[in-house]
Amino acid sequence: MAVNEFMHPRNRYRQKPNFQQLVKQFPELNAVARVDLTGKVKLDYRNKQAVHLLSKCLLLRDFGLKLELPPDKLVPTLPLRLNYIHWLEDIGSVAHWQDKETVRGIDIGCGASCIYPLLAAVQSQQRWHMVAIEKAEDSLESAKANVIRNELQDCINVQSQKQEGNTIVLDVLKDFPDERFDFCMCNPPFFDSNSNELKPHDRTGRRREPSNASTGSLEELCTEGGEVKFISQIIEESLQLRDRISVYTTMIGHKSSYEKILLTLKRASIHNITASRFCQGNTTRWAVAWSFDTKLMLPLVPNSLSTAENNSPGKKQTVGKPISCRIFAAADVDSIQSVKTCILSKLQAIAISVRVVETSTSDEIILELTALENTWSHQRRKRRAVQMSSQEVQTPNGNGTEPECSDQQNGSGHNNHEKRPRLDDKPYECSSQQRNPADDPYLRAALNIARKEDGYYLTLLYIAGIAGKDAVNQILQYLKNT
């Protein structure tokens, strides 16, 4: 099924290139193009030479990039690569990379084309500076040649990954001891070198033959343990590097691998994550990013899984969908700061800790909420119990004691004192499940306060915690009620 409609909205290849015009501009494409009965010019994507020539021509036309590849190396298809770059731009908008003069990134396994660093440099107008690492000697030399060919040596530093080393990024960063990076990216080999299978497992027997020619050398396509083991090692190394790299990102080739990587992150107690899905042509890839930076809330990154998977019947949405409502009309309060003060007081009243996240706009405030237990459920019942207690204290007998409720008065065998525990719950509902702050929180969520023309809006987004996604609905309802 074609999935171009789910391609990143800024991707220029959502619309297929006009091959008729392209062939006029690049006559060399005539060797691999054909004209159908309607007069349309088409390319055979199963032809390796056609895929190679098309990528070279599009790179030159759309990005001004000149690319040469050795034989039998992976030919980069541009829609997929551009989807990854646009997703990184979305992450950067939340991380405020737009405020930085230079953004520093690492491409793990840049390949012979060095395509991601080249696109990153051009797309950012040379604001993104990349360290490109590669293990294979022939690919390393080709990558360096492509950087020099495009005169981007000031933006891209191609580094050899140590052949004898067992690490992916740890050893490379020893060459940059005083430097911190904004992100790393990776397009790992999808397949397990211990398996003979170089294509996705066909569970139903109905999988169609690939519509594109298969390109790439064995080391580009395969690694021991496949992509799950490779990415799991990056996760392990990230636990040592922590904020040396602000955001760790990777592409994932198989849906089953994506689910295993999410589980690996959860087991490592890494909850500051975001995920996406790259759709292009008849191909789908997945991506995950994680961070240890407490000022950066990755769940706020626009998530293509929310839209794409909602349109796929039977698909379970992976990431929580934000819920929103207007909390004040424009005339009710004088400023967004007043709204923040009000919200903070309501949240502090139920022992939810709040951290204000820096934003670059005066019309938006982002708060990170952390709860160690459920303190928000049944608030109306608790307020009612307090009111009843205060009324009893204010209406004593003539002798200064509270009136007794006899069985005849209340029509039952129980007095009010016996009933009160049912109404007057413990202050916090889950006090029997006190959680250590060192544990994973009961709930982590992001709260966005935004000023619009007709008033002030709250948006809540579930991030992590055993409370689950229903908890953010309950907290939003509590804020509305109070």
Binding site for S-adenosyl-L-methionine: what residues are annotated? 81, 109, 134, 187
For 277-345, the three-class secondary structure string (H helix, E strand, C coil) is EEEECCEEEEEEEECCCCCCCHHHCCCHHHHHHHCCCCCCCCCCCCEEEEEEECCCCCCHHHHHHHHHH
CB 453 within 8 A of CB 330: yes
Q: Are strands 103-108 and 128-134 parallel, antiparallel or unpaired?
A: parallel
CB 461 within 8 A of CB 454: no
CB 74 within 8 A of CB 220: yes
CB atoms within 10 A of CB 20: 13
- DSSP string covering 146-201: HHHHTT-TTTEEEEEPPTT---SSHHHHTTSTT--EEEEEE----EETTSS--S--
Numbers of helices and strands, H then E, in the chain: 15, 16
CB 436 within 8 A of CB 413: no
Torsional sign, CA 293, 297, 303, 305: positive
Mark the binding-site residues, compressed into ranges: 81, 109, 134, 187
Residue 243 carries which DSSP code? G
Work out the burial of residue 348: count CB atoms within 10 Å of its CB; fewer than 13 is exposed, 13-18 middle, 19 or more buried: exposed
Measure the CA–CA gap between 145 and 114, rounded to whole angstroms: 9
**Amino acid at site 303:** N
How close are the terminal C-alpha atoms of the chain, in Å? Answer: 49
Does residue 104 sit in helix, strand or coil? strand
Strand order in the sheet with 273-280: 156-160, 128-134, 103-108, 181-186, 245-252, 283-290, 273-280
CA 254 to chain centre: 17
Measure the CA–CA gap between 144 and 133, rounded to whole angstroms: 11
Q: At 433, phi and psi to the nearest 5?
A: -120, 45
Q: At 430, phi and psi to the nearest 5?
A: -105, 30
